[in-house]
Structure 1
Amino acid sequence: MPFIEIKQFAGDSVEKKQEILAAVTKAYSEAAGKDPAKVHAVLTEVPPAQWAVGGQTF
């Protein structure tokens, strides 16, 4: 079973997160030839203060 993990800043609505997960699942299943019902996807929201690039938080 494929497992997709998405991490992003907090703030999107529940509906938007559902849309993102559905779109990612569809894209992966089409590209990989996998059954979308067996594709697992998790979206984790991270506060900007806990996310850094080059050692600097957002």
Structure 2
Amino acid sequence: MPLIQISQTPGLSDEQKAEVISAVTRAYAESSGKNPSSVWVTITEVPRENWGVGGTPLG
């Protein structure tokens, strides 16, 4: 069972999340030869204040 985890800042609608999950599942299944029904995808929304890039907080 492949598990793909996506971490991002909040902001996508439920419809956008569903499309991301669908697109990522399709891409992984096509490139790996796995059955799409075996691919798990999670989206974790992390508030901007909990992110940092290059040593600088984003929040």
TM-score, normalising length: structure 1: 0.95
Give aligned pairs, total.
58
Query: What are structure 2's unaligned runs of at least 5 residues?
Result: none
Q: CA RMSD in A?
A: 0.6
Q: Which runs of 4+ in 1 moved over 4 A?
A: none
Secondary structure class of the residue paired with 2:12: coil
Give the share of equivalent positions with the same residue, in percent: 48
Output one character per residue of 1:2-36: Cα deviation in whole Å (capped at 9) or x when no partner.
01000111011010011001100000000000000
TM-score, normalising length: structure 2: 0.93
